[in-house]
Structure 1
Amino acid sequence: MLRKTKKVISLFCALIFILPTLSYSMDKEEFLKFLIESSYPESSTKDDNSKEEDKEDKIANKEEDYIKVHIGEENIPTLNSNPNNKENVSVASSEYKNDIRLTKENPTMLIYHSHAGETYSDSPEGNYHSQNKEKSVIEVGTLLTEQLSKKGWGIAHSIKYHDYPDFTKSYASSLETVKSMLNNYKNINIAIDLHRDGRDLKTEADIQKEHERMSTTYKGEKVAKFFFVVGMKNTNVDEVQGLAEDITKFAQSKYPELVLPIVKKQYGKFNQYMAKNHMLIEIGSNGTSSDEAKASVKYVAEILDEYFKQNR
């Protein structure tokens, strides 16, 4: 008990001396970034009794990370307060009950979005984060659901905003969704967390450079490129990485112009330990348009369909 008391006193004293120094040496925005970077984007769940592997690791928002943190109220996804202003989506809203659409009674595949507020270059409000569904990964996920359903797959598609109101707890929130879906639909053994890549785009030159990196012309059509992200902190990292590498290799054999190498995140989990086959897929980026991302979906759907039918 005495030892714990000494540790608490030491920590308290350290905070007294360190925090003022940090706050004086940084402006307000920099200090907020410091606080967020110490825990973003993964945080522990609310369940204190859960196992260690059920808790997301803290991860720094480094320059090369696949998503950027943007400080400022104008960059926080906002709820649409007008109930009469309906977003246009590929499927009638009646298909979604409590933000979930099931294409079969017993789905085998889950598609969800830890960052549902991620939007593309044709919806730059909120620094490419908003609830403009038509220009977001939600619409891309809706289309992917349609394409895979036509190929015979039973899909559960969640359009819940896990990055609102607290963007830094996106993965803790989406973890609860994944747990609930796996508990309710026991046949699900494939999970896809669908994103778009994010870069810090400040000028038109930045946007153009990013557009060239993440898009190409294929069969006369502008198409966004895609890739897989692997969280290297997962207890089942060998399986997660092996799956991403196998599908990437398969995709390169069919559409080498469209797929990029996998990205490994040394400090991440991204909930990829939850399902037998869990993928984090980035389709396009904030430098590509939503139409380019949607144009890529038919190829992604074909790749996933053929791969998993061959490897059941």
Structure 2
Amino acid sequence: MNKRPDVFRVCALAIACAILLRLASGGLGAMVAQALGHEKMASVLLYLGTGRVACPAAPQEQTPDPTQLTAPGPEDNPVEFSPEDGQQIQVGNFAGVDVDIPTLLQMPLDWDLTEQSPTVLILHTHGSESYTGIPQEAQSSGYRSLDTAYNMVSMGDALAEYLTQAGIGVIHDRTLYDYPSYNDAYNLARAAIQGYLAQYPSICLVIDLHRDAAEDAAGNQVAFTAQIAGQEMAQLMIVTGSGSDTLPHPNWKENLALALKLQVQLEKQYPGLCRPLALRAQRYNQDLLPGAILVEVGTAGNTWDQAMASIEPLARSILTLAKGTEPE
């Protein structure tokens, strides 16, 4: 075996050590210490002394944080709707009222979500609603959680961040209105919405994020999913109310007109992501603002990851409506 490379390395190491000792004795000890601590110098000395090469440690695998999001900007121009757009969507009319979808789609949406701040309020009447498979320590009873990292508040956090990054002024109310009393949730949320609207008259859009629940014949929770661009997402369901004798909502068609427009935009961009829009003889506090809607993000049978994956499409579709609609 040829020993000459080893001899050269040993000689070079001796010379390097002599130089460093001379520098240290000359009052340059701090500089020498810094040089010895440098990663490249350490690699050189390792090679001269042993002949081995130091390999840098592999970087740790980074797990994406679903709340670290990047959203596109809002549409620069108002969007147009035609009567034919109504053929792309389905509506479950559980309220039994007359609905003219083509006419409602052409009702003007006179707002600019980018013009003033804040323009969007996100809240959760049933904030403790959660999903299948969350950590046991985060679980409450009946697919609920008081941990805001796993309940509807986390969905609102993500949606708020998307819209904020796109230049939309957002208020996210992270209050759990259904805890400790589930029955008082809508009354408590109503008072909060009224307070926000009084304090911030610039608010045009109120989004109440929920998650739905459905069981099969055996009592098992059912998950509603869609494959979008190769990713499994929880299906969304937009819900609007027409009011009732005890819960009047005389202007419900304005809310439905907005909901239909959002449903169309979602279906155009992400076919199959939405379940049929649900119109029910309820109010859902939507009488407080024509721009109030309720969105069910998946069901109790869906996983948290599936639900979180559907927030980006929801945000992108909202952004397409940021400038309102073209006047007729």
TM-score range (shorter-chain normalised) is 0.5 to 0.7
How far does residue 180 in structure 1 lie from its aligned partner after superposition? Answer: 0.9
Larger Rg: 2
Deviations 1:148-186 (A, max 9, x none): 111110000001111012101110000011011111112
Instruction: State the secondary structure of the residue aligned to 2:160.
Output: helix
Q: 1:157 to 1:215 in 2, by over 3 A?
A: same
Q: 1:166 to 1:89 in 2, by over 3 A?
A: farther
Higher RCO (CA-CA < 8 Å; seq separation 6+): 2
> Which structure shows the higher helix fraction?
1
**Aligned mate of 2:181, from 143, 166, 169:** 166
Paired residues, number? 207
CA distance in 2, matches of 1:122, 1:133: 15
Instruction: State the secondary structure of the residue aligned to 1:251.
Output: helix
**Aligned mate of 2:158, from 143, 146, 153:** 143
Determine whether 1:224 maps to 2:216.
no
Determine whether 1:305 maps to 2:319.
yes
How far does residue 105 in structure 1 lie from its aligned partner after superposition? Answer: 9.1
How far does residue 269 in structure 1 lie from its aligned partner after superposition? Answer: 0.5
How far does residue 276 in structure 1 lie from its aligned partner after superposition? Answer: 2.9
How far does residue 300 in structure 1 lie from its aligned partner after superposition? Answer: 0.3
- TM-score w.r.t. the length of structure 2 is 0.59
Deviations 1:117-155 (A, max 9, x none): 101112354111220222211101100000111111000
Structure 2 counterpart of 1:289, one-letter code: T
Structure 1 counterpart of 2:121, one-letter code: L
Query: What residue is the counterpart of 2:288 in the other structure?
Result: 274
Structure 2 counterpart of 1:114, one-letter code: T
Query: What residue is the counterpart of 1:3 in the other structure?
Result: none
CA distance in 1, matches of 2:67, 2:269: 27
Query: What residue is the counterpart of 2:121 in the other structure?
Result: 110
Query: What residue is the counterpart of 1:128 in the other structure?
Result: 143
**Contact 1:141-1:157 within 8 A present in 2 as well:** yes
How far does residue 224 in structure 1 lie from its aligned partner after superposition? Answer: 1.0
Determine whether 1:260 maps to 2:271.
no
- TM-score w.r.t. the length of structure 1 is 0.62
Map 1:209-248 onto structure 2 (within 5 A): 210-211=222-223, 214-233=224-243, 234-248=249-263
Identity %, equivalent residues: 26
CA distance in 2, matches of 1:90, 1:218: 19
Determine whether 1:291 maps to 2:305.
yes
How far does residue 106 in structure 1 lie from its aligned partner after superposition? Answer: 3.0
Give the CA RMSD over aligned residues.
2.3
Deviations 1:71-113 (A, max 9, x none): xxxxxxxxxxxxxxxxx9948xxxxxxxxxxxx9931100000
**Contact 1:89-1:134 within 8 A present in 2 as well:** no
CA distance in 1, matches of 2:293, 2:274: 14
CA distance in 2, matches of 1:202, 1:176: 38
**Aligned mate of 1:196, from 178, 196, 211:** 211
CA distance in 1, matches of 2:125, 2:240: 15
